[in-house]
Amino acid sequence: MAKRPKKSERVRAGIVGAGVGSVHAHGYSKLPNVEIAAICDIDAARAEALAARYGVRSIYTDYEAMLAEAKLDAVSVCTPNALHAPVAIAALNAGCHVLCEKPLSVNAEEGGKIVEAARKSAGKFMIGMNNRFRGDTQVLKKYIEDGELGEIYYARCGWIRRNGIPGFGSWFTRKEMSGGGPLIDIGVHALDVTLYLMGNPKPTSVFGATYAKFGPYGRGQGQWGAPVKGGAFDVEDLACAQIRFQNGASLVLEASWAQHCAGERLYSEVYGDKGGATLEPLRVYTEAHGRPADITPAYPNIGGHEAEIAHFIECIVENKPPIATADQALDVMKILDGIYRSAETGQSVSLA
């Protein structure tokens, strides 16, 4: 059974994956009630380097050994997407609370296995959707919850890059390891934060398209991730879709690693019958005294990653449900699966 440490005890956290795991280590290091007890990575040198930075003694190259020996309360799963399910399920079965990096898995079927394990476990499971926790997101969410925008019936969102293919030839660009390209890598962030603002409505259908106009020809490489010489590129470099929901709302999504655009942009826009709003920059568009009124709310400068880690630990210590749940993450995976199926068939796909 998952342990809920007393408020006087430090939460013993382990990290699987020392790449993105470095962000989690930084977040944990800021919390006085957390001890980074172990770090695991198949690359021993990388695990040792991260451990040295935060004074961690226990280093592993096998996550099962770490779970068996390190006496952990919580685990961050920061592996390539294809390993999210086996690592997260093993950690839940070992009695640990789990924070899993996005996306939930490579597809909804694998993601469903995590959700089932989370339901059977006494541990907390949280998906790492850091954009929900930003200061501007939280302020806009409050506007929406207070009814300032009315009924949200339409939204647009996306994350687009001009030249931003990560780790060319690495696991990022291999479908068997990643599950897809920019749609599942960065588009998932824009999609999730927008669904969160909309109140997480249930998706009913999607119509989507994918393109690979840069990657297969060695163009569009970015700075993130180490390229692998001779590695494969068998995913999309641009995806777009329209999503419809049970409550009648609709959302337009786009995601790209490479396209001839002005530059990188992450955006989320929501539109209601009383007002509309955008993130990056945060603006609220409404009416006052019968005239259009644009509002620029002040918001705290809260970084999403650190706030996400702090929330995860708070949920463990205070026995609270996390903001970003397994069921919500599975709905996102169903949408992504539907977009990929629609792109293959050229037809709308039902998710009902």
Q: Encode pLDDT of 206-244 as tens digits.
A: 999 999 999 999 999 998 888 898 889 999 999 999 999
Give the Cα separation of 165 and 274 in Å (integer).
39
Of 169, 178, 163, the C-alpha closest to 219 is 163
The arithmetic mean of pLDDT across residues 28-43, rounded, is 98
CATH fold of 132-302+333-350 reads: Dihydrodipicolinate Reductase; domain 2 (3.30.360)
- The answer, yes or no, to whether residue 177 has pLDDT greater than 80, is yes
The arithmetic mean of pLDDT across residues 160-184, rounded, is 96
SS3 156: strand
> What is the structure's pLDDT at 44?
98
Angle at which helices 44-54 and 21-29 pack, to 10 degrees? 20
Q: How confident is the model at residue 352 (pLDDT cuts 50, 70, 90)?
A: confident
Q: Where are the domains of the chain?
A: 11-123, 132-302+333-350
- The answer, yes or no, to whether residue 316 has pLDDT greater than 70, is yes
DSSP H helices, 169-229, are 175-178, 182, 188-198
> What is the structure's pLDDT at 1?
57
> What is the structure's pLDDT at 229?
87
Of 184, 158, 171, 206, the C-alpha closest to 105 is 184
Q: How confident is the model at residue 121 (pLDDT cuts 50, 70, 90)?
A: very high
Could you give the C-alpha distances from 186 to 137, 165, 300, 310, in angstroms and in order? 17, 11, 24, 23
Topology match between the domains 11-123 and 132-302+333-350: no
> What is the structure's pLDDT at 330?
98
Task: Note if the bond before 86 is cis, omega within 30 degrees.
Answer: no
Which tens digit of pLDDT belongs to each residue from 249-305? 999 999 999 999 999 999 999 999 999 999 989 999 999 999 999 999 999 999 899
Give the Cα separation of 44 and 55 in Å (integer).
16
Share of the chain above pLDDT 70, in %: 98
Which class is domain 11-123?
alpha beta
The arithmetic mean of pLDDT across residues 86-105, rounded, is 98
How many alpha carbons lie under 13 Å from residue 177 in its C-beta half-sphere? 13
Q: How confident is the model at residue 3 (pLDDT cuts 50, 70, 90)?
A: low
The arithmetic mean of pLDDT across residues 134-142, rounded, is 98
> What is the structure's pLDDT at 224?
82
The arithmetic mean of pLDDT across residues 185-195, rounded, is 98
The arithmetic mean of pLDDT across residues 102-118, rounded, is 98
Q: How confident is the model at residue 5 (pLDDT cuts 50, 70, 90)?
A: low
Provide the 10 A C-beta neighbour count for residue 299: 15
> What is the structure's pLDDT at 337?
98
- The answer, yes or no, to whether residue 134 has pLDDT greater than 90, is yes
> What is the structure's pLDDT at 100?
98
The arithmetic mean of pLDDT across residues 62-85, rounded, is 98
| Beta-strand relationship, 250-256 and 238-245 | antiparallel
In sequence order, the 6+-apart residues with CB closer than 8 A to the CB of 45 are: none
141 by Cβ neighbours in 10 Å (0-12 / 13-18 / 19+) ranks as middle
Average pLDDT, the chain: 96
Which tens digit of pLDDT belongs to each residue from 196-208? 999 999 999 999 9
Q: How confident is the model at residue 67 (pLDDT cuts 50, 70, 90)?
A: very high
Which tens digit of pLDDT belongs to each residue from 321-339? 999 999 999 999 999 999 9
